[in-house]
Structure 1
Amino acid sequence: MNGMPKVLVVDNGERAPESALSAELAGMGYASVTAPFETADDVLALIPSPAAVVLQMPRQAAWAERRRFLDLARRLRRNLADSGTPVIITGGVTGAATMLQNELSERAVAALDG
């Protein structure tokens, strides 16, 4: 992949063109890798130091599926805490890129202040 910072997008494997974050992320200067939930750990092992991980939970997810995403988010946040990699949960594409941009901007400002 190119030298752009990478963002891992994890979803349930059902992708519709209108829910793709790749174009928005590219516009923000990020390359994205989208992986289904079941392969998130394997793909994350292949991406050294991702800029962020976005868990794209389906809007109409049943409680069991929501729980899986929340558990994954909790585990990833714990595992990625030392690297400072943000783990963001979103319920679809709406607002996901903005949330990511805000999170990364906050971290960049904090690094400058630190």
Structure 2
Amino acid sequence: MNGMPKVLVVDNGERAPESALSAELAGMGYASVTTPFEAADDVLALIPSPAAVVLHMPQRANWAERKRFLELATRLRKNLASSGTPVIITGGVNGAATMLQNQLSVKAVAAPEL
């Protein structure tokens, strides 16, 4: 992949063009790698230091699916705490781009100068 910072997007595997975050992330200067929930850990192991992990929970998820996403978020936040990688849960495309921009801007501002 190119030199753009990468964001891992985890979803339930059902992707509709109107709910894709890749265009919003590209507009903010990020490359995105989208993976289904079940492969999240494997794909995360292949991406060195992602800028963020976005859990894209379906808007109409039932309680069991919401619980799976929340448990994954808790585990990833614990595992990624030392690197400062934000784990962001979105429930659809409405407002997701703004939330991502806010979260990723905070990280960029807080990053140490090289």
Check whether TM > 0.5: yes
Query: What range is the shorter-chain TM-score in?
Result: over 0.9
Scaled by the length of structure 1, the TM-score of the pair is: 0.94
Residue 51 of structure 2 aligns with an amino acid whose one-letter code is A
Are 2:21 and 1:24 aligned? no
Q: Counterparts of 1:33-44 in structure 2 under 5 Å?
A: 33-44=33-44
| CA distance in structure 2 between the aligned counterparts of 1:10 and 1:107, rounded to whole angstroms | 20
CA distance 1:64–1:18, shift in 2 (3 Å): same
Q: Hey, what does 2:11 align to over in structure 1? A: 11
| CA distance in structure 1 between the aligned counterparts of 2:96 and 2:86, rounded to whole angstroms | 13
5+ residue gaps, structure 2: none
Q: Hey, what does 1:85 align to over in structure 2? A: 85
Share of identical aligned residues, percent?
Answer: 86
Q: Hey, what does 2:53 align to over in structure 1? A: 53
Q: Aligned pair count?
A: 112
For the aligned residues, what is the CA RMSD?
A: 1.0
After the TM superposition, which segments of 4 or more aligned residues of structure 1 sit over 6 Å from their partners?
A: none
5+ residue gaps, structure 1: none
**Partner SS, residue 110 of structure 2:** helix
